[in-house]
Structure 1
Amino acid sequence: MIRNLARGVSAFTSNAFLVDGERTVLVDTGANFDIVPKIHEQVDELDAVVLTHTHPDHVGNIDAVRDVFDAETWGFDLDQPAVDNAIEDESTLRIGDDEYVVLHTPGHKNDHLCLYSESATTLFAGDLVFQNGGFGRTDLPEGDRELLIRSIDRLRSVVDDSLSAMHVGHGPSVVDSPYDHIEMAARAARLG
């Protein structure tokens, strides 16, 4: 089961998805709210934290999570203080009960990752793409619109219209034709 622990939080934060199962994983920690009791409401232990990228709104709660759950973090860039273990592009990672392929998708931030499970038909898109054709900002440090477009195109080449759920860094998850939202993001990113 996948639960957004940042749902209903009014502070500036990213979404933070708790995926329980064989390997209980938190995808991003969010920021500016106390996530620890929200995790404890659902599970007793946390096996790992996987970071889509290391912008402060996605990793702000990392120290609290590490302190209480003694969970190691996984991300793309070991030079980032929030990352304990590096994940290589195209490697696989167990999240919950499913295997996810890790896709390095820079453009919003150099260390950005998407996580895709073909068997679960589920994608964690971070801040690469959003509902209704939204896409990640490129006006922040490390932002690069052309690189973002290439990353969206790469994602489009890996997932297809069998995708049933896309969990994004901000806003609601997309469970109604999520592949169409990726297609819209690819077109929108080219326009502006």
Structure 2
Amino acid sequence: MFFGRNSPIESNSYLILGDKIILVDTGMRAETLIENIESVGIKMSDIDFIVNTHCHFDHIRSNKILKDAARAKIAAHKEDEPYISKADPDYTVSKYLANNLKAAKVDLALKEGDKLGDFEVIHTPGHTKGSICLLNRAQGILITGDTIFAQGFTGRTDLPGGSQEQLKTSLKKLEKFDLEKILPGHEQPVLKNANQNIENALLILESAYL
């Protein structure tokens, strides 16, 4: 379930339904997100996990409010866990936007290959040290955070923890999966030809840094 902002600044959120209900990224508007979730018949207390795709402010600002409302466990990759748990102003980049980020402890430190329902954690450093994608192999769905967007665009690598080389390596890893859809952290999803979108991203990166 997609709660989109259609914005380059505010992040998308995704609600994965199954044996465990998982909220991916909490964004910046907690009250609006809670209203959207409850409008589709899901109680906040039904949510089992809140997964952060990476540590940046625009994806985690509502962690504290959502965690308290849902009593859910927050999960994030082990490389970004300290920055989220401590609300680090540099690595969350909150100092550049609004330094009012409230800390919310990460309960589950994720690693490559961990399973969350039907989704598998894919570590994709580059945008941050602990950026992850969530892969549903059976359906060819990839939730990408800020690793890759539509039209072959990718997340920035010039912020703390970013690496252009690591991002290229991560995209080459993703290219090997049989994908149909990309659900990114900002703006609109890619609903077909997802692998071509990754190939385009690699071409853009290569041409930009020749």
Runs of 4+ in 1 over 3 A off after TM superposition: none
Q: In the alignment, what sits opposite 1:172? A: 188
Counterpart of 1:15 in structure 2: which amino acid? N
Give identity over the alignment, percent: 32
2:156 to 134, 137, 154: 137
RMSD: 1.7
Counterpart of 2:25 in structure 1: which amino acid? D
**What is the Cα deviation at residue 60 of structure 1?**
0.6
Q: In the alignment, what sits opposite 1:111? A: 130
Q: In the alignment, what sits opposite 1:88? A: 111
Q: In the alignment, what sits opposite 2:170? A: 151
Note the 1:67-86 alignment, pairs <5 A: 67-77=68-78, 78-79=81-82, 80-81=84-85, 82=104, 83-86=106-109
Q: Give the stretch that moved more between structures: 16-25 or 29-38.
A: 29-38
Cα 1:133–1:12, aligned 2, differ >3 Å: closer, same or farther? closer
Is residue 2:201 matched to residue 1:185?
yes
| Alpha carbons 1:11, 1:33 under 8 Å: kept | no
**What is the Cα deviation at residue 143 of structure 1?**
1.2
| Alpha carbons 2:151, 2:197 under 8 Å: kept | yes
CA distance in 2, matches of 1:55, 1:140: 10
**What is the Cα deviation at residue 117 of structure 1?**
1.0
The residue matched to 2:120 in structure 1 has which SS? Answer: strand
The residue matched to 1:175 in structure 2 has which SS? Answer: coil
Q: TM-score, normalised by structure 1?
A: 0.88
**What is the Cα deviation at residue 33 of structure 1?**
5.0
The residue matched to 2:139 in structure 1 has which SS? Answer: coil
CA distance in 1, matches of 2:140, 2:8: 30
CA distance in 1, matches of 2:8, 2:133: 24
1:124 to 140, 143, 146: 143
Where does the alignment leave 5 or more consecutive residues of structure 2 unmatched?
Answer: 86-103
Q: In the alignment, what sits opposite 1:57? A: 58
**What is the Cα deviation at residue 119 of structure 1?**
1.0
CA distance in 2, matches of 1:104, 1:178: 18
CA distance in 2, matches of 1:178, 1:11: 20
Q: String of CA shifts for 1:58-82, please: whole Å, max 9, x gaps.
A: 0011111111110111111232314
The residue matched to 1:86 in structure 2 has which SS? Answer: strand
Cα 1:139–1:11, aligned 2, differ >3 Å: closer, same or farther? closer
User: How many equivalent residue pairs?
Assistant: 182
